[in-house]
Amino acid sequence: MIKTERLFLRPLRAEDWQSMQRIAADFRESQYILYDMPLPIGEQEIKALTEMFAGTGLFFAVLLDDAMIGYVCFHEENEDYDLGYCFHSDYHGKGYAYEACTAMMQYMAEEKAAKAFTAGTALKNVPSCRLLEKLGFTLTATETLSFHKDESGNDIVFEGGIFRKEIMN
C-alpha cells in the first residue's frame, strides 16, 4: 500500500467491483463520456471486468479514508506505461488525481523501471489535459477518434491528444 498526504493507494481487488460500478455509473453521467469507452455497470459485467483488471497488477484503487474515490491504471507498451485514471465526480478539482497519479508514476518508475509514460485524452477534456500538463506530460501528437455514435448512427468524432513524459534517471 502506498500512502500519500491524503490518500492510500493499493492494488485493485476483485471485491472492489461495487466501487468500480459506482465510479463507472458516475462517469456515464459526465460530459466527458463522449471521449472514452464506458465501463459496464451491470453487476456480472463489472464484477468480471474488475477481477480481470485486478489480475493485471496494473490497476490501483485510490482510497480517501476507507472510500474508493477513483482508480489509476497503466497499460504496458514495451518499456513505456500508458497512464489512465478515473475519479468519481464528487472528488474532481481537489487535487486527488494529481496526488494519486504522481505517487503511482513514482512507484512505476522505481518498481517497474518505467522509462516513459504516455497518456491520451480528448483535447476538449480540458481538466484532463491540465492534469497531464501539471504531471509533466507534453502533447506530442493528435489523432481523430470516435467511441460513440449519434442518434442517426454517425460517428461522434473528436480530436484526441497523445501525451508523453520521459523519466530522467
Q: What are the pLDDT digits (tens) for 109-144?
A: 999 889 999 999 999 999 999 999 999 999 999 999
Buried b (16+ CB within 10 A) or exposed e, 136-169: ebeeeeeeeeebeeeeeeeeeebebbbbbbebee
Any idea where the domains of the chain sit in the sequence?
2-166
pLDDT confidence of 169, banded at 50, 70, 90? low
Query: How many other CB atoms are there within 10 angstroms of residue 94's CB atom?
Result: 13
Contacts of 151 (CB under 8 A, 6+ apart): none
The model's pTM is: 0.94
Q: Where are the beta strands (DSSP E) in the chain?
A: 2-3, 8-11, 59-64, 67-77, 80-87, 116-122, 138-149, 155-166
Q: What are the pLDDT digits (tens) for 21-63?
A: 999 999 999 999 989 988 999 999 999 999 999 999 999 999 9
Please tell me the distance from the alpha carbon of residue 93 to that of residue 106, in angstroms, as a whole number. Answer: 22
Sort strands 8-11 and 2-3 into parallel, antiparallel or unpaired: antiparallel
CATH architecture of 2-166: 3-Layer(aba) Sandwich (3.40)
